[in-house]
Amino acid sequence: MTGHLQYLVLFFVVIPVVYLPAQPPAQTMEQVDLINGRTLEGLVLEETQTMVKMRLVSRKIGRPTLTSTEEFRRDEVRFIRHLPVGEREELSRKLKELDQQRDLFLASLRMLDAPSPQLTNRGIEGIRPTPVAWEDDPNQTAWAFESHYFRLTTNLREPLAVLVTLQLEEVFRAISNLFPPRLPGKPTRIRIWSDQLGYLRAVGRGQASLDHPAVFDSLGNRILGGTELARLEGESIELRRHHAKQLGILNLREIEIQKAMGGKIPTDFAEMAVRARRELRDADQKNDHAIRQSRNQLLQILNHESIHAYLGNWVYDQQKQPLPRWLNEGLAQVYETGLIEAGELRADWPDSTRLAGVRQLIREGKFPALRHILADSPDHFLVRVEGGGDKPNRESSREAYLASWILTYHLTFGKKLLPGKKVDQYLESLAKNEGRKAAFDAFESWTGMDIDTFEKTMLDFVGRLRPDGSLALAK
């Protein structure tokens, strides 16, 4: 994970004096039809003879659920569609849970961006990491947190450790609702380093060419990850101090010139001062954006590895019913970018970057054949240095990841075949390890199509797939 901050130095010209089952259906909601033709969805909170109070709910593809509360006069309302008591209670519970989740994350973000590193109350409600000695350096304080699905230890600063803990709690809960546990799994041990050097030392033994900021070790049931956030945040603090100093110098020059010029400021200096303040503000904003991007990248990577850990530890027996590598990587990619809301993982729209990458491979004739994807060699995904040279095979690894993503996305949202009983039958067939032909036959039995026909339908699906997950009409 890399990032660069913008360092801005100003030189002043002194005049005379001197910058968070397959996708479930949308939650059933109550409806209010207004006289003006509008139909509103949400939860009716209160009804009287003169007014109707409603919590409106908006769920748009790829966007967080939005809610607001409005009141309407009775004479504005044409009709109200109420939910049955059970469904109404479930909707009310979901909305309260959504509010609680967002309150927790907002509290975490406020701690994260607080000017003082000292917290008056350690952690936030429900998330209280315990201070422990860091394994790599007993003199350094680290943070530990225990959950049903994981055991986290990290030397990230405390507010970031809280945010990471919140995210891990939510992603494990959400994926467990999508793929209910079937095995008596054990909590995954998670270690996150505040620098990549410590992480690389931990995973470098025998894996010197590993090119990934996090990894799930299935044999040890552990996730190891590293980030440059500590360095970036430290640099950002120093740059803000430098920019504040530059701004102070500018303010002093402005006062001196104003006194020397009888209360007036020359036009050329005034324009330069406006431009300088804007550049300082923009530089700080760009630096803040770089920090947020790095945080989001860390959380997304943890989503990915957590999905691997959960599926391999609680759902699919790695000895009796292991997921093929293409499907394992495909599921992690499909759901790592989803929206997590009150235990629900919404991911029924394609990741735009990955979709563009798949389409580029198809245009260039580099998209792997379906049989090649299903052959499922782990080497397809690893980034190793080839032939003892210095150039790693990043491109072939990228092709493998993109192919596994679109195949899994198509099976999940195009064909509606994931999850389900038939995938279990497919995995049982693969576990017999009877060779490639048997594996191809098992895939055909699962999908109900021969491989060549399925491949054609998948490529057609890619061509017609829209950003919101819908399909354009076939030409």
Residue 97: inside a domain, yes or no? no
Structure tokens at 404: 């596994």
| Range from 23-37, 256-270, 278-292, 448-462 carrying the lowest mean pLDDT | 23-37
Could you report the per-residue pLDDT of 8-22, keeping only the tens digit for each?
A: 544 433 333 333 333
Q: Are residues 327 and 311 in the same domain?
A: no
Could you report the per-residue pLDDT of 297-309, keeping only the tens digit for each?
A: 899 999 999 999 9
Residue 133: predicted pLDDT: 94
Q: Are residues 289 and 164 in the same domain?
A: yes
Q: Which neighbouring-strand residues pair with 152? A: 145, 190
Residue 149: inside a domain, yes or no? yes
- Cα(239)–Cα(432) distance, integer angstroms: 59
Residue 22: predicted pLDDT: 36
Nearest to 32 by CA among 63, 61, 55: 55
Residue type, 466: R
Q: Are residues 268 and 365 in the same domain?
A: no
Q: Are residues 384 and 309 in the same domain?
A: no
Residue 179: predicted pLDDT: 94
Kindly report the CA angle at 287 between 281 and 292, in degrees rounded to 5?
125
DSSP single-letter state for residue 391 = -
Q: Are residues 228 and 371 in the same domain?
A: no
* Number of residues in the chain: 475
Q: Are residues 231 and 145 in the same domain?
A: yes
Q: Are residues 38 and 117 in the same domain?
A: no
Contacts of 349 (CB under 8 A, 6+ apart): 61, 62, 467, 468, 469
Q: 3-class SS at 281?
A: helix
Q: Hunting for tokens 């990619």 — which residue is that? A: 333
Residue 281: inside a domain, yes or no? yes
CB 98 within 8 A of CB 42: no
Residue 95: inside a domain, yes or no? no
Q: Which neighbouring-strand residues pair with 80? A: 32
Contacts of 468 (CB under 8 A, 6+ apart): 61, 62, 349
Could you report the per-residue pLDDT of 246-263, keeping only the tens digit for each?
A: 999 999 998 988 888 888
DSSP single-letter state for residue 323 = P
The domain tally of the chain equals: 3
Q: Are residues 379 and 336 in the same domain?
A: yes
Q: Are residues 353 and 436 in the same domain?
A: yes
Q: Are residues 206 and 276 in the same domain?
A: yes
HEC-encoded secondary structure of 243-258: HHHHHHHHHHHHHHHH
Q: Which residue range(s) make up the domain with 189?
A: 1-20+102-315
Residue 284: inside a domain, yes or no? yes
CB atoms within 10 A of CB 13: 9
Could you report the per-residue pLDDT of 125-159, keeping only the tens digit for each?
A: 567 789 999 988 889 999 999 999 999 999 998 88
Q: Are residues 250 and 132 in the same domain?
A: yes
- Cα(379)–Cα(465) distance, integer angstroms: 29
Structure tokens at 263: 């209360």
Q: Are residues 187 and 117 in the same domain?
A: yes
Counting DSSP H helices and E strands in the chain, the numbers are 12, 13
